[in-house]
Amino acid sequence: MDDSIVDDVRAFNRFYTRLIGLLDAGHLKTPYTLTEARLIYEIGTRERARHGELATALSLDPGYLTRLNFKLTDLGLITAVRSEEDRPDRRANHYALTREGEAAFETLNQATVDLVEGLLAPLDAGQRRELLAAMRTIRTLLGEPTSHSPVILRDHRIGDLGWMIHRQGLIYNQQFGWNGEFEVLIAGIYRDYEAAPASPPKHLWVAEQNGAIVGSIFVMPSEGIEGSAQLRMLYVEPSARGRGIGAALVAQAVNFARDRGYRRMRLWTHEEQVSARRVYAAAGFAIVETIPEHNFGKEMVGEIWEMVV
């Protein structure tokens, strides 16, 4: 690995640690260390928790966690409680916050809110979306369990088309080695979509999760083929694949074409786009033509797929 990559990661870690004050003597200007604050937070959000649950959630050695629990108990912040499944001959191993602990939790929670609001206050709405998208990308790529937040399909907004051209140009270069010709081509395809009249019907959907774009697709009339709709530019972010987003986008497009009176749908794809081809086949499309091509700096086989809607 290039040394500069490691240096950049370490520089970011130092910057962010300093920015949010992780190494301050008292976390968020409170009397508690970072680890103590995290323990108070975990118990406060769970109301009560077992020793093992806390050790796992905080990635703490159980022995160290025991000593930490003793300290916070002596400070009057947490207390051991019994649950219905505890036996009379066993010591209680659930923890809950005392009234003083709840007050400490509220203080820490409000201090966190104030810190985040202070960091975001200088940023405009677009910069905040960009920052949050970058944070989500870091968490996803470094292995945090994926969010179960719902995916919504919405109309496109100002800035979306440029973003989708950028992402698809980059993704297909990384995945298939396609050169800049592809980016130029899709810029023209999106331009043609925007320039097309409202009738015959057209529509573009953006898939969004947690405020970030995770995919898109659009439908417009097939050029020169009456009664036929063209399915174009299906794209799903690599980090969001395997969740059925591509199938949902294609189903939305097919239903739109059917409801608007189109009799058939067509699409253009390539033999190497294996994942997309599986989605198309599952939706009812079939190959009607194959075309040897030299496109985007590669020798490939283009495919025309169709379905009756």
Query: Looking at the structure, do residues 159 and 276 belong to the same domain, yes or no?
Result: yes
At 89 the pLDDT is 53
131 within some domain: no
pLDDT digits (tens, 9 = 90+) for 145-154: 555 578 999 9
User: Which residue ranges in the chain fall short of pLDDT 70?
Assistant: 83-93, 144-148
On whether both 160 and 290 belong to a single domain, the answer is yes
**CATH code for position 47:** 1.10.10.10
Q: What pLDDT digit, counting tens, does each position of 36-92 carry?
A: 999 999 999 888 888 888 988 888 898 999 999 999 999 999 998 876 665 555 555
**Containing structural domain, residue 64:** 3-122
158 with 111, same domain: the answer is no
Confidence (pLDDT) at 148: 59
Number of domains in the chain: 2
Residue 52 lies in a domain: yes
pLDDT of residue 87: 56
What is the share, in percent, of the chain residues with pLDDT greater than 90? 68
For residue 165, the model assigns a pLDDT of 96
Residue 132: inside a domain: no
CA 5 vs CA 8, 174, 276, 299: distances in Å: 5, 18, 32, 33
- Which string of DSSP letters, residue by residue, matches 26-66? SGGGSSS-HHHHHHHHHHHHHSEEEHHHHHHHHT--HHHHH
